[in-house]
Homo-oligomer: A and B are copies of this chain.
Amino acid sequence: MANAIRALAMDAVQQANSGHPGAPMGMAEMAVALWGQHLQHNPGHPQWANRDRFVLSNGHASMILYALLHLTGYDLPMSELRNFRQLHSKTPGHPEHGLTPGVETTTGPLGQGIANAVGMALSEKLLAKEFNRDGHAIVDHHTYVFLGDGCLMEAISHEACALAGAWKLNKLIALYDDNGISIDGKVEPWFIDDTPKRFEAYGWHVIRGIDGHDAAAVSAAIAAAKGLDKPTLICCKTIIGFGAPTKQGKEICHGSPLGDAEIAATRASLGWTAPPFEIPAPIRAQWDARARGAAAEAAWSQRFAAYRAAHPELAAELDRRWRGELPAAFASAAEAYIRQCQEQGESPATRKASQNCLDAYGPLLPELIGGSADLAGSNNTIWKGSRSIAENAAGGNYIHYGVREFAMAAIGNGIALYGGFIHYSATFLVFVDYCRNALRMAALMKQRHIFVLTHDSIGLGEDGPTHQPVEHLAGLRATPNVDTWRPCDAVETAVAWRAAIVRRDGPSALILTRQNLPHQPRSADQVEAIARGGYVLRDCAGTPELILIATGSEVQLAVAAAQQLEAAGRKVRLVSMPCSERFDAQPAEYREAVLPRAVRARLAVEAAQGDCWYKYVGLDGAVIGMTSFGASAPADALMVQFGFTTANVVATAEALLG
């Protein structure tokens, strides 16, 4: 069975003339043990809710996963394996969730897979606690991970595995492919970690010294890991490229095809006589997991039917959560809350307005879960309904992540992928740097994941330039499939939160202030228009001479400037643009109505690096933005220092008008 994997891996990589044969060949017996003996899954129905989760954290070994999915009976025909790494195939270079049935998460950026798996294992634990009842273990499965040296060197493995230990995620079982080789060669000179000792320091159970090429030994270790009260790391000593006579155990087989001669020699040494992309029927039968999987799901479905009979409302709610649909009452309640915010006209900091949204929307959304990287009080992420998951009671919905931004974001991705939850991750905007690639992965995987990013500019004041974002908005806006909201008051904040919750095909970043922002008056139509991402907040009669565009804390400044310019007889329009991605997605007529092409005197104001605004102001317009890092001082002093004053906006506007 293991050699079937090896043959498919080396043949597919050779055919593509690109890819990583070594790791799949080295982990083949580990796969036989886990997928052959333990994994509860149903190839005919990859979405079965109670399946075990399997994460290939060392995603470059993608061919082992494709081989397993193919061999066990998923809808991944041999033609797809022949098309490894080709355009429009279901077998991309690294496994992509949503593209290939049975791929639980997209991996490749090392270390994030294990963090996703921590999120999945946490989801299982929390969902079980919330929905299981005596005699009805409806949510009850394991999460398995394969990971390699690279994942363990990566920083994020520290954060994620420390949390897994703190949370006692006993149904998380990780198998470490300890082959001692990375791209640069034998890792010994730069990787001397005593990994078992390190994981024991995190509160894991560690099973040492397993021969990774002894499937029975690996299987026994997995069996031993089940039923413990901690997560388990199984250390499997393997040889990379196992079976390749001259290349095994060397970095040369890590990321390049073996070559025809070596492949032939490998076939001979393994006694594998089948031609490329052919699997002998007896071996195919051994691997085929369709009948077993269908039976497993059928048995579970029976148990679920009994659960539904005993607890019909719980079952219906769990169904809804799994489907990812919002409660029926949410839409109208959110609409009413937004209207109420407009009517009440309060002027909090938008981070506080965000907390108010949690208080308003949270009670409607038992699926809402989240946390902050040790900034709960500053990010305002704890709301009235927050209960720590550490309390060990059902209904925990608040996660104290500690100072661990990257793990938070990647664990949040795992929670989103698992389903049944809507996750928010919070930190200061500047520290999105620490979790940047996980946010990207949420976008790439089209996951609903809400990033609450407060302290959004020099307006945070005294903490200084290390804490003041400048370039981050540009970076987020340039990232495909991220909606970046920078609301100007409590009303826009409420719309942004609603949009982030409603959105099902990608993450949203909510960019919020530390400082208070004044309420803006709006008509009902204007309130409605916020969701379009950009709208006319204040207008003149007739065609404007000048258009001001602003977001967040700079809208108040633009309002004051517009008033002065109007007093001086200028015809000024003010566009609030909380979400340029949403605005860009509007029909051309709407965009033209807001920003008429003929009006070229345009001025954008935002306390961030401003080059992205030239898209809207063009060569004849101007941007008042940040052109350097900030400084440590009270916020008001900084705003003056860096030109965010009414006088500067007015003067720049007058200069544009000539």
Contacts and interface: CB of A to CB of B under 8 A. Distances in A.
A474 B473 CA distance: 10
A540 B19 CA distance: 45
Contact of A615 (B433, B611, B626): B611
A404 to B, nearest CB: 5
A351 to B, nearest CB: 15
Contacts of A374: 150, 153, 182-184
A618 interface: yes
Contacts of A155: 154-159, 404, 406-407, 434
Interface string A97-128: 00000000011111100000000000000000
Nearest to A463: B93
Contacts of A183: 374-378
Contacts of A165: 192-193
A96 interface: yes
A166 interface: yes
A480 interface: yes
Contacts of A203: 192-194
A572 interface: no
B480 A478 contact: no
Interface stretch (A236-244, A285-293, A528-536, A629-637): A629-637
A596 B518 CA distance: 42
A629 B480 contact: yes
Contact of A434 (B377, B437, B614): B437
B159 A92 contact: no
Interface stretch (A22-30, A328-336, A395-403): A395-403
Given A190-B163, A471-B475, A433 B431 contact: no
A542 interface: no
Contact of A462 (B93, B184, B433, B437): B93
A208 to B, nearest CB: 13
Contact of A629 (B109, B403, B406, B444): B444
Interface residues of A, number: 113
Interface in A431-485: 431, 433-434, 436-437, 440-441, 443-444, 461-467, 470-471, 474-475, 477-481
Nearest to A158: B158
B619 A597 contact: yes
Nearest to A16: B462
A38 interface: no
A183 to B, nearest CB: 5
A155 B474 CA distance: 25
Interface string A617-655: 011100000111101111001100100000000000000
B433 A440 contact: yes
A92 B190 contact: no
Nearest to A428: B109
Interface of A: 16, 18-19, 59, 85-89, 92-94, 96, 106-111, 149-151, 153-159, 162-163, 165-166, 182-185, 187, 189-195, 197-198, 200-203, 372, 374-378, 388, 390, 400-404, 406-407, 430-431, 433-434, 436-437, 440-441, 443-444, 461-467, 470-471, 474-475, 477-481, 597, 600, 609, 611-612, 614-615, 618-620, 626-629, 631-634, 637-638, 641
What 9 pairs between A and B have smallest CB-CB spacing?
A155-B155, A92-B632, A475-B475, A158-B158, A618-B619, A87-B633, A108-B466, A474-B478, A433-B437
12 contacts: A85-B464, A85-B632, A85-B634, A93-B462, A154-B155, A154-B403, A155-B406, A162-B191, A190-B401, A190-B402, A433-B436, A474-B477
